[in-house]
Amino acid sequence: QSALTQPASVSGSPGQSITISCTGSSNDVGGYNSVSWYQQHPGKAPKLMIYEVSNRPSGVSNRFSGSKSGNTASLTISGLQAEDEADYFCSSYTFNSWLFGGGTKLTVL
């Protein structure tokens, strides 16, 4: 099973919005509503930001939102802040196992 495909990097200025894509197949992203997104700062463990495509855990800012269309899921961050600079990973269920994306480095300019 191949990893899910994410852009290596995205950037944006404070206050702007950015979107990170996560492309899989009908066997994973397109076939299940089990897509999650994680934020990871250097040297830290991943932090759950979105689960089940578009749900936010308690405590996560509403500036973070998720969606899915076909085999591609997306994470949108609005009103970019300096603290959002981090790596972001998607994950999806597939055939009794889990896949992760390669990760996207978000730079806040």
Partner 1 sequence: QVQLVQSGAEVAKPGASVKVSCKASGYTFNGYIIHWVRQGPVHGLEWMGWVNPDSGAINYAPKFQDRVTMTRDTSMTTAHMELSGLRSDDTAVYYCTREDGHNGRFDYWGQGSLVTVSS
Task: Establish if 60 lies at the interface with partner 1 (CB under 8 A).
Answer: no
Tell me how many degrees the CA angle 103-108-109 measures, rounded to the nearest 5.
Answer: 135
Judged on CB neighbours under 10 Å (0-12, 13-18, 19+), 73 is: buried
Task: Establish if 100 lies at the interface with partner 1 (CB under 8 A).
Answer: yes
Task: Establish if 93 lies at the interface with partner 1 (CB under 8 A).
Answer: yes
Task: Establish if 56 lies at the interface with partner 1 (CB under 8 A).
Answer: no
Binding track over 9-28 against partner 1, x by CB under 8 A: --------------------
Nearest-approach distance from CB 106 to partner 1, in angstroms: 16
**Number of residues near partner 1 (by CB under 8 A):** 25
CA distances from 98 to 28, 34, 39, 45, 83 (A): 9, 9, 17, 18, 28
